Structure formats: C-alpha cells, structure tokens
Structure 1
Amino acid sequence: MDWDKLRIFHAVADAGSLTHAGDTLHLSQSAVSRQIRALEEALGTTLFHRHARGLILTEQGELLFDATSSMARKLDSASAKMRDSAEHVFGELKVTTTVGFGSLWLAPRLVKLYETYPDLKIDLMLEERVLDLPMREADVAIRMKEPSQSDLIRRRLLNIRMRLYATQDYLDRAGTPGSMAELSNHRLVCQKADQPQVAAGAKLIEEVMAQNVVSTLTVNNYFGVLQGVLANVGIGVLPDYLTADHPDLIRVLPDIESGVVPVFLAYPEELRQTRRVAVFRDFVLEEIQAYRRWQSEAGKSLQT
C-alpha cells in the first residue's frame, strides 16, 4: 500500500475537505483529488461520500482512518522519543566482551550506569568468541586485541598483564615462593594453555607449568580461577585489573608477568550518533580513568 497516498488520505479525512488538506500538505486541490481517487481504485472501494458541505467518510473510510490515526500516534510518539533522546536514554544495547573482563570488571560497575539511565536495557554477552560488529551481532565490543575491521570506531582503553596472585591465608599455610622453580611446591590455579584466552596469558601459563608443577586446578575462565584463589586453593594466574576490586590479593613473584595485553572498545561507524552507544562509551572511559587513578595511588603507596 502506498504510504504517501495514506498520508494524503489521513489529512483529507482529518480536515473533511480537499482544499483544506491541500493547504496543509502544500498540494493543489486537484493533486489531492487524484491521489484519493487512485487510492480508492487500488483498494476497490469508496472512502468518501462527497457532499456540497464537504467530505464524509464511508464505513470503509472509517476503518482506514482508524488505522492511519493509530499510525500517526505511533509516529508522533517515536518522534517525541527521538527528540527527547538527547537527555533520555532508552532501548537495548548489546555489549560483548570476554567472560573474565565482563564478569570481574564490567558487570560489577554497571549499577552506576543504570542509576543515571534507568530505562537502558543492556544485553551483556560474555564469551571468548569474537562477535561480528558490522553484522550487528553486537553493538559494542570490549576486546583484548585491536579489532581488524576497517569500518569500526575503536578506542584503546588500557593495557593489562597476567600475573600471579594468592591470598595471605594460603601463603601463610603453604609458604611464599621465592623463585619460579619453587612453584613446583605449590598448587597452580589457571586456565589450560590451549583454552581460548589471550596469547600472553597462555604463554605465562606454559612458563609456569614448565616448573614441573604437580598439583593444578584448571578452570575455563578467569572468574572461576579467581574463586579458586579466594578459596585458598593455590596460586592463580589472573589479570591485574581485578586487583582494584580485590586489594587483599597478594602478588606472588612480582618480577613474573605476561606481556602487555591491549584492551579496546569498538563499535560500528553507523552507530556513532546513537545515544545508547555514546553513554556506554563515556561510562566505560570514566571507569577506566578511575581505575588508572587507583593504579597510580596504589603504586605511590608501594613506594613509600
């Protein structure tokens, strides 16, 4: 059905006159009349009774006017929401990131975003598989490497490293290793080196395993590794970003760490002006700045 003819029909039905509708639509009376006749022919019915005093809707015309009135209300509502969206953020935002970063760093902070934008709906997809942003499998991604697609906007958030951590209770019971070789006397909590994870983390695990570690607990994500470490199971290979929320963890063998792992935020170019994406991006950047300030202050306290 021709949307333009429906728009003209609605204006005529609302005004009750071809002339008045033409004035509203900036069309001549004859042009409006031709469009109404064409719509009636297409529908195979008469929409108006024509009288000297104006136009009166037929029964079929009343049915169509009810439908176009409903459409007009929905369009007005959508237009109002779009005008208000500069201040009022609503709708669904699909965010993807790794299980570790999403569960250990991002999810605990989202309450602050919801406090500011309570009508936002976030679909948080945690998996190691890289979702296709240009194909809209997700709206925003936080990835542990720079995206390769050229049609993405990307922002480097921070650099992380995998390090060795344990609880003080575990170290009091099992002793603190003074060298890589002494790790053979401890239980290692980590992912398997051949599981999906950042290459730098897998390489560090291989180096530690080369010390003839006898006892291990392997978990397929960093959230599980952290739970094992907090439960005093052993020494864990974990990303350094989680220490902001778990300051009681003790770093073991401070000279041992993985290479740098860059963390990027990315989203499609076509979503640049989308308000949901903008507020999420700004929120993440603010939280990263807060994390960096914590890192700086923690580093100063260690030096004093």
Structure 2
Amino acid sequence: MNWQVIDYDWNHVRAFLATAKTGSLSAAARELRTSQPTIGRQIAALEQVLGVILFERGRRGLTVTAVGRQLLQHADAMATAAHWMSLTASGQSQDIAGEVSVTAVDFICSQVVVPVIRRLAVEAPALSIRMLSSNAIQDLARRDADIAIRHVRPDQPDLVARLVTTYHASFYAARSFLDRQGRPRTAEELKSIPVIGNDEPEPFIRIAAEHGISICEDQFRHPANSATLIWDLVRAGLGMAFLPDEFCRDMPDLERVFPDHAPFGFPVWLVTHRELQTSRRIRMVYDALAEELAARR
C-alpha cells in the first residue's frame, strides 16, 4: 500500500490544538498571542490540506468533530514531543525544580503516575511529584492539587481539560475463578457470578445493561472504595468486575468474561488550572502524564 505524506504547517496544528483546548478562536488567539482572524485562517488552511472538517460551528460555539478528536490525539503527541525536544536540546529539564501535585484514583496513581515519577527522576532530578489518591474534582477546585486525571470533563471555568485518550472496560475475572466456577454463556448462568464494585452498584448495572449484560444488585459482593482493592479482589478469585482492557492485557491471570461483547469506552481527561499552564514544572509533568496515558492505548 502506498501512503501519501501530507505537508502541513506546524503553526496551523498549534492553532487547531489551542482552539480545541480553549473552545473558541478568541481564546486560542490569546493563548498563542495572535489575532482571531489569523487563527481562523490557519484552521481553515489545515482543514483544506487534510481534507477534513475539524470543527462544527453552532450557536454554542465550536465543537470538535469526530475526525477532529482522532487527529487531536496525534496533534497532542506532536506538541508533547516538540516540547520535550526543546527542553532536552537546551538542557532546561535539569533546571526545573519544585513540587507538582497530581490526583487520580489509586490504580492510575500506581500504573501511570509512578512510571512518570521514575522517568522524571532522571530527566528532571530537582522536580518532586506528590500523589493524591482521589476521584473528586474538588481537589482541583480547592487547589489541593495541580493536575488531575479524571474520566469526566469538569465544568469549572477556571480549569482546563484535555482529552488525552479513550480507554475501554470489560468484565474480567481470574482465570482460576472461571476454571472453578465455569464460564457463563447465558444470562441465567451469569446470575451465579459475584460482582466486585464499590458501594454504588447502580452505575455498573446501567453500563452492563447498555451492553446487553444483565446483572442485579444482589450479585455485588465485597464492596471496596479503592480501585486497587477491587483489582486485588478480582485477582484473588472472588468475582468479576469492570476493569480497563488497556491494563488487563498485561495480566495473564485475568480473563474477559464476555469476549464477544463490545467493551465500554470511557474518556480520560487531564485537568489543570488555566493559569498554571505557564508553569514549566507543571507543564513538564502534564505532558509526561499525557504521553504515559496515551501509550496505554
């Protein structure tokens, strides 16, 4: 197959990124220190050279199209690579110091944030990262954290959210549990499988129903308020749970309970305070987290 390389202007990609992130041409113009008509022309030029529509224009402003969201992930990766290339070439990464606090659910802290800390300990040894295990967006609103990893986009006007990737979740159980319990093939057989979750089973029941899987509240056992504990309970052979495919594929002791069912997709947002984007140390951690999260796709 012959692939055609499309030649485009990086400044046009920057205009696309800034507009998608800020939600308007005027805000993007302020961020890039240029004029609104210039941003509009750059986006139009990028749309023309790529042969796609990046934004839908409506009464409520601009909305990124489906193809635009796909391209946004690649544009984000390009921006991150350019940023790291600049820091590395100038030797500035060694000079970045201070503390950056990151909040995420405990499992994401261990699987994503810890590798980022290990990487930055070499690239920016004077930088310190403090982890906060939580899933409350109020952590950012109260200024308890600098950066948050969330599955819901916040609506606070002083926060900036970046859609990094989309993960997928399916029902998983330990292979040893399924060998002992049996692999359910019918709705009736499914009713005998315990479900591991938190104290609020309704969202899990609803998500399962949307994917043609019927479970009931009586099946829920051993509720835990920790994502890591839910994983531990599943791996201990105590039932099945909704777990992200992107992490389970590295765990051979786990098996998808319904391999023929389509997984449930959920977004991964990287959130910070608007004014903190200008901080070099926060930007470094922010970009490193985005790269690590996207690498799990």
Q: Give the TM-score of the pair, scaled to structure 1.
A: 0.58
Residues paired across the two proteins, number? 205
Give 3-state SS (helix, strand or coil) of 2:259's partner: strand
Q: Do 1:184 and 1:211's aligned partners in 2 also have CA atoms closer than 8 Å? A: no
Q: Provide the residue aligned with 1:260 in structure 2.
A: 265
Amino acid in structure 1 at the alignment position of 2:162: R
Structure 1 position 245, deviation (Å): 4.0
1:125–1:253 distance in 2 versus 1, CA, 3 Å = same
Structure 1 position 251, deviation (Å): 0.8
Is 249-258 or 157-166 further displaced after alignment?
Answer: 249-258
Amino acid in structure 1 at the alignment position of 2:273: P
> Which whole-Å CA distance do the structure 1 matches of 2:199 and 2:205 have between them?
7
> Which whole-Å CA distance do the structure 1 matches of 2:232 and 2:116 have between them?
19
Q: Does 1:103 align with 2:103?
A: no
Q: 1:270 aligns with which of 272, 275, 294?
A: 275
1:163–1:259 distance in 2 versus 1, CA, 3 Å = closer
> Which whole-Å CA distance do the structure 2 matches of 1:271 and 1:258 have between them?
35
Q: Provide the residue aligned with 1:3 in structure 2.
A: none
> What is the Cα-based RMSD across aligned positions, in Å?
2.9
Structure 1 position 283, deviation (Å): 0.9
Give 3-state SS (helix, strand or coil) of 1:254's partner: coil
Q: Do 1:193 and 1:205's aligned partners in 2 also have CA atoms closer than 8 Å? A: no
Q: Provide the residue aligned with 2:216 in structure 1.
A: 210
| Aligned counterparts, 1:138-157, within 5 A | 138-157=145-164
Structure 1 position 188, deviation (Å): 2.1
Q: Percent identity?
A: 29
- For residues 174-220 of structure 1, the C-alpha deviation after alignment (integer angstroms, 9 at most, x for no partner) is 1111134312222222223259xxx5x4633686542853x722222
Q: Do 2:93 and 2:123's aligned partners in 1 also have CA atoms closer than 8 Å? A: no
Q: Provide the residue aligned with 1:51 in structure 2.
A: none
| Aligned counterparts, 1:1-304, within 5 A | 87-133=94-140, 135-193=142-200, 199=203, 201=204, 203-204=206-207, 208-210=214-216, 213=219, 216-256=221-261, 259-292=264-297
> Which whole-Å CA distance do the structure 2 matches of 1:190 and 1:270 have between them?
37
Q: Do 1:94 and 1:123's aligned partners in 2 also have CA atoms closer than 8 Å? A: yes
1:212–1:255 distance in 2 versus 1, CA, 3 Å = farther
Is 97-106 or 218-227 further displaced after alignment?
Answer: 97-106
> Which whole-Å CA distance do the structure 2 matches of 1:202 and 1:115 have between them?
44
> Which whole-Å CA distance do the structure 2 matches of 1:194 and 1:230 have between them?
20
Amino acid in structure 2 at the alignment position of 1:169: S
Amino acid in structure 2 at the alignment position of 1:254: P
Give 3-state SS (helix, strand or coil) of 1:238's partner: strand
> Which whole-Å CA distance do the structure 2 matches of 1:115 and 1:244 have between them?
28
Structure 1 position 229, deviation (Å): 1.3
1:130–1:234 distance in 2 versus 1, CA, 3 Å = same
> Which whole-Å CA distance do the structure 1 matches of 2:117 and 2:295 have between them?
14
Give 3-state SS (helix, strand or coil) of 2:155's partner: coil
> Which whole-Å CA distance do the structure 2 matches of 1:178 and 1:185 have between them?
12
Q: Do 1:161 and 1:257's aligned partners in 2 also have CA atoms closer than 8 Å? A: no
Can you give the 5+ residue segments of structure 1 that lack an aligned partner in the other structure? 1-82, 293-304
Structure 1 position 260, deviation (Å): 3.2
Amino acid in structure 2 at the alignment position of 1:240: D
Can you give the 5+ residue segments of structure 2 that lack an aligned partner in the other structure? 1-89
